[in-house]
Amino acid sequence: MSGKPKLHYFNGRGRMESIRWLLAAAGVEFEECFLEAKDDLVKLQKDGSLLFQQVPMVEIDGMKMVQTKAILSYIAGKYNLYGKDLKERALIDMYVEGMIDLNELLMVHTFQPAEKKEQHFATLVDKATNRYFPVFEKVLKDHGQDFLVGNQFSRADVQLLETLLTAEEFKPDILAKFPLLQSFKARTSNIPTIKKFLQPGSQRKPPLQEKDVEKVMKIFH
Amino acid sequence: MAAKPKLHYPKGRGKMESIRWLLAAAGVEFDEQFIEKKEDLEKIRNDGSLLFQQVPMVEIDGMKMVQTRAILSYIAAKYNLYGKDLKERAWIDMYVEGTTDLMGMIMSLPLQAAETKDKHLALIIERATTRYFPVYEKALKTHGQDYLVGNKLSWADIQLLEAILMAEECKADILSAFPQLQAFKGRISNVPTIKKFLQPGSKRKPRPDEKYIAEMRKIFNF
């Protein structure tokens, strides 16, 4: 009997990717059950597996957890990636929520109608380089430590690396003005569990291609 | 001496309202600094008070906290409204995320263009009555306890009450098929701190009207 967490989602990044990152960073092996067509989603909805009829859903520790933020918080808490006290958790939460906002912008870009894409791209580059990255550059500069919070590896570091790499996929030189984020990226990528996740053959998913957008839309709409 | 938390937001519900609910339910007095015009927002942006240039912002325990969910989690944990262990917290988080999604839909209703308003309202009612309320109805029926998680008042209960009242503002009889939720509503409304918050003169904010929406558009440029 496998006690490994089991992830239910389509075979792509979407809202499940941050969960894959966090489990991988924590060194937790997991299984995946991919939704290939609408029927797969309907089946899960009908058998009562999805609290709010939605995925992501992760079977973990006897629970069928839904809601991305709830799942991430649980994993972070369980694997000691959530700081040592309430105040550190507060900082981690603030940073992570900001990164999630940026990630959301990045994630929805592929789904933008053609006529809105250029404007949307400009917005996401602007927000990344003027609102979000300066914050984390400053945090690292102010304390001079390797990790964002409490001189200890946390979910905030995992989320930041994911966000930095995704942003670079949109604009390869997007970190040009952020030397500390560049060194953070290199350092964090070398953490053994993360290094493994970044190698081919891991469960990390590639960015969604235009040609796959329709297939994904069909599952969820 | 512990200073009271200080909330920075326009004088209306928006994303701050859940924070007002939670502080009030926890019996925590707080002050409010209202953003009334664009200059007020610019001021706190320019003085570095807003980590991501956004409100809500709550000054609490020496921090200038931003990001609604981070603020709510902190308050919940600090005032023992977050369950007794990791698993209870997981359930509270799941329930809270559900009500947050529903309230988000309701919050965006006044912002809809006239021609999509009816459709959006219909969607809210459908989601409330077929996706969200059945979950909480079932949870209460299954364990037969007064509160959603761990037989104790938590953040999940407070947010569910907030969501129920908001949904009733959309459709007065929206709870007609949910007897457990009706009883829950009566029960939680009578928790002394919450009862106080529901009375006139409290810091609870009224339903947004056209005037408020117009002000918000000016301040936040949308």
Q: Do A97 and B65 touch (CB under 8 A)?
A: no
In this structure, the answer to whether residues A130 and A172 fall within a common structural domain is: yes
pLDDT in tens, chain B (222 residues): 568 999 999 999 999 999 999 999 999 999 999 999 999 999 999 999 999 999 999 999 999 999 999 999 999 999 999 999 999 999 999 999 999 999 999 999 999 998 999 999 999 999 999 999 999 999 999 999 999 999 999 999 999 999 999 999 999 999 999 999 999 999 999 999 999 999 999 999 999 998 999 999 999 988
Q: How far is B63 from chain A (nearest CA, A)?
A: 9
Q: Is residue A1 part of a domain?
A: no
In this structure, the answer to whether residues A56 and A140 fall within a common structural domain is: no
CATH of the domain at A27: 3.40.30.10
Query: Which residues does chain A have within 8 Å of residue B90's beta carbon, measured at their own beta carbons?
Result: 63, 65, 70, 73-74
Q: For chain B, say whether A93 makes contact (Cβ under 8 Å).
A: yes
In this structure, the answer to whether residues A10 and A64 fall within a common structural domain is: yes
**Phi and psi (nearest 5°) for A153?**
-60, 130
Q: Is residue A59 part of a domain?
A: yes
Q: Is residue A174 part of a domain?
A: yes
Q: Is residue A159 part of a domain?
A: yes
In this structure, the answer to whether residues A75 and A112 fall within a common structural domain is: no
What is the model's pTM? 0.96
Structural domains counted in chain A? 2
In this structure, the answer to whether residues A136 and A202 fall within a common structural domain is: no
Write down the pLDDT at residue A217: 87
Q: For chain B, say whether A104 makes contact (Cβ under 8 Å).
A: no
Q: Is residue A204 part of a domain?
A: yes
Write down the pLDDT at residue A106: 94
Q: Is residue A42 part of a domain?
A: yes
The pLDDT tens digits of the residues spanning A108-157 come to 998 899 999 999 999 999 999 999 999 999 999 999 999 999 999 999 99
Q: How many CB atoms lie within 10 A of CB B108?
A: 11
Q: Is residue A97 part of a domain?
A: yes
Kind of pairing, strands A57-60 and A63-66?
A: antiparallel
Q: Is residue A90 part of a domain?
A: yes
Q: Do A65 and B98 touch (CB under 8 A)?
A: no
Specify whether the CB–CB gap between B169 and B207 falls below 8 A: yes
Q: For chain A, say whether B53 makes contact (Cβ under 8 Å).
A: yes
Q: Do B135 and A98 touch (CB under 8 A)?
A: no
Write down the pLDDT at residue A211: 85
CB pairs under 8 A between A and B: 76
In this structure, the answer to whether residues A113 and A174 fall within a common structural domain is: yes
Write down the pLDDT at residue A162: 98
The pLDDT tens digits of the residues spanning B86-143 come to 999 999 999 999 999 999 999 999 999 989 999 999 999 999 999 999 999 999 999 9
In this structure, the answer to whether residues A186 and A202 fall within a common structural domain is: no
In this structure, the answer to whether residues A36 and A116 fall within a common structural domain is: no
CATH of the domain at A164: 1.20.1050.10
Mutation site for B-interface testing, chosen from A15, A49, A52, A136 by largest number of B Cβ within 10 Å = A52
In this structure, the answer to whether residues A202 and A182 fall within a common structural domain is: no
In this structure, the answer to whether residues A108 and A153 fall within a common structural domain is: yes
Range of the domain at A29: 6-79+198-220
In this structure, the answer to whether residues A40 and A91 fall within a common structural domain is: no
CB proximity list for A140: less than 8 A, separation 6 or greater: A148, A180, A181, A184
d(C-alpha A28, C-alpha A75), whole Å: 10
In this structure, the answer to whether residues A25 and A96 fall within a common structural domain is: no
